[in-house]
């Protein structure tokens, strides 16, 4: 009788171990990789999207652009061709959320510094103030690496149109007129096909961690 219970105990232990292994294998098999969503205008809060795009359900991409960076270089989509990048909108004289956003963007820069697939792009929403000289001064102060991160200025209407019609990033309806002012804490993750793959609160450390995780996921595609 004692031998039977001893044998049963050993069987129970072996069975438990085998069961755990089998369950783990099944879990890992079923836990299929889930790609990030491809954001379309109809998937975003309507107030963040230009009214001309409220109907659009597919094929949304970041439009072509031509802007000037902190070194006076013209920056276009060609500079981001075949790159994953994080985009935001800021201004150098902002006393509120911009310093936090810039600090967090610098943190991302540190993480991707040796990653040739990933870059950063920050658009000034006060281009009349943020000249090349001002952007360069700000870039040096904030530790911007010119090879990884472009701070861009240029035509105000183009920048505002990018914010509303491409990045789906801001609530204000301003079209870049002299008295218009838009701003957002959003960071946008853009893939190599110029598609939006994520929105993040650029002032939140937790959101920055989520963004970095999503970059890793995106690189697996």
At residue 187, the 3 state secondary structure works out as strand
Angle at 201 between CA 211 and CA 128, to 5 degrees: 110
183 labelled binding-site residue:
yes
CA distance linking residue 187 with residue 86, whole number of Å: 6
Which residues have C-beta within 8 Å of that of residue 100, sequence separation ≥ 6? 202, 203
Beta-sheet pairing, 149-152 with 186-190 = unpaired
C-beta of residue 35 within 8 angstroms of C-beta of residue 221: yes
Phi first, then psi: give them for residue 50, nearest 5 degrees.
Answer: -60, 140
98 labelled binding-site residue:
yes
54 labelled binding-site residue:
no
Residue with tokens 């000289």: 133
C-beta of residue 99 within 8 angstroms of C-beta of residue 93: no
Beta-sheet pairing, 84-90 with 118-124 = parallel
Sign of the C-alpha dihedral computed for residues 95, 101, 103 and 105 taken in this order? negative
CA distance linking residue 65 with residue 35, whole number of Å: 27
Q: Which residues are annotated as a binding site for Cu cation?
A: 94, 98, 183
Annotated binding site: 94, 98, 183
């Amino acid at each position: 009788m004692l031998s039977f219970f001893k044998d049963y105990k050993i069987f129970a232990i072996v069975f438990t171990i085998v069961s755990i292994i089998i369950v783990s294998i099944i879990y890992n098999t079923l836990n299929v990789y889930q790609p990030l969503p491809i954001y379309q205008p109809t998937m975003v809060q309507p107030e963040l999207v230009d009214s001309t795009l409220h109907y659009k359900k597919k094929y949304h991409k970041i439009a072509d652009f031509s802007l000037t960076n902190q070194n006076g270089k013209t920056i276009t989509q060609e500079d981001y061709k075949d790159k994953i990048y994080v985009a935001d909108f800021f201004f150098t004289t902002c006393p509120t959320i911009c310093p936090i956003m810039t600090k967090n963007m610098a943190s991302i820069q540190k993480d991707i510094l040796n990653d040739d697939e990933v870059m950063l792009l920050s658009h000034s929403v006060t281009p009349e103030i943020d000249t090349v000289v001002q952007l360069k001064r700000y870039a040096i102060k904030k530790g911007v690496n010119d090879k990884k991160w472009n701070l861009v200025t240029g035509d105000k209407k183009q920048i505002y149109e990018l914010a509303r019609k491409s990045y789906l990033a801001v609530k204000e309806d301003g079209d870049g007129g002299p008295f218009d002012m838009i701003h957002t804490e959003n960071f946008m993750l853009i893939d190599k096909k110029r598609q939006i793959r994520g929105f993040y609160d650029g002032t939140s450390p937790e959101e920055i961690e989520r963004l970095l995780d999503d970059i890793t996921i995106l690189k697996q595609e």
